[in-house]
Structure 1
Amino acid sequence: MSLANNSNNNQSGLGSSIPLLCKNGCGSFGSKSTMDMCSKCYKDKFQANLARLTINDCHVNKPTENSSSSASITTDSVVLNNRCSTCNKRVKLMGYGCRCGNFYCSMHRYPEIHACTYDYKSVGRGMIATTNPLVKQDKLMERI
């Protein structure tokens, strides 16, 4: 009797693992996790739903005189870090940011050259103090 029950369980298990064709009819196989669609159709449907939601969420505001003038002010105040802070030379792709917060060319990138205000020594001491705990010898008076 137990063999008959096992064979019935196996058949029911096989029925649920049979791959189903895609709901969109593209000919590929789908899965339950992708709502019986193949991965490509599921991704397309997901992207379409996402685009529809983002379009519905966007609110189009008509610009007024005050908002247009404030927008131009904010774009003018944005400063790009494409010049060296010391020599004002244009640094193309490879500029060097320093811990003091400025941007430098290859000639002024070292802290000794550009008179950096960042205190590397105290930061280094603090890092060593936190990473290396103080080791004290136990007092062993009874061994003396």
Structure 2
Amino acid sequence: MGSQSNNGISYPTSEANLCANNCGFFGTPDKGNFCSKCYKQLCLQVQPSVIDSLLCPSAPQALLDEVKPSSSVEQSPPCAAGPSKPKNRCGHCNRKVGLTGFLCKCGTIFCGVHRYPEKHECTYDFKAAGRETISKENPTIKGDKVQRF
């Protein structure tokens, strides 16, 4: 009862190696014979230098300098939009609208009072848009001309 058998399974004995940093604790072989504290400090020291080398490699930078932008690709000018208005305010009276804001077809959010195009001087051309949708939905059908005898 006092002794237990391990059913013939032999486990490797961990060798008692002192930390490679000579701090007095025992190190493990999977951590390079460092103790947990020294290994953590080593990882923190090595990690920034590895990150810097990954972010700023010197060889690929030279390759990037050699690559010239193609002249066939047109570069669009940067967007010259001024400071954008907050999306939670009415475009006409600047009232906070929250979740009840109405998005107009001109692209601006309005409160319940100014949601109609007549109330906020809408720039969207509803008449032309209506004509375009009708012409797309109802194409004109031209019949063959009747031949005269």
Q: Do the two structures share a fold, i.e. TM-score over 0.5?
A: no
Q: TM-score range by the shorter chain?
A: 0.3 to 0.5
- When normalised by structure 1's length, the TM-score is 0.42
| Higher Cα Rg, which structure | 2
- When normalised by structure 2's length, the TM-score is 0.41
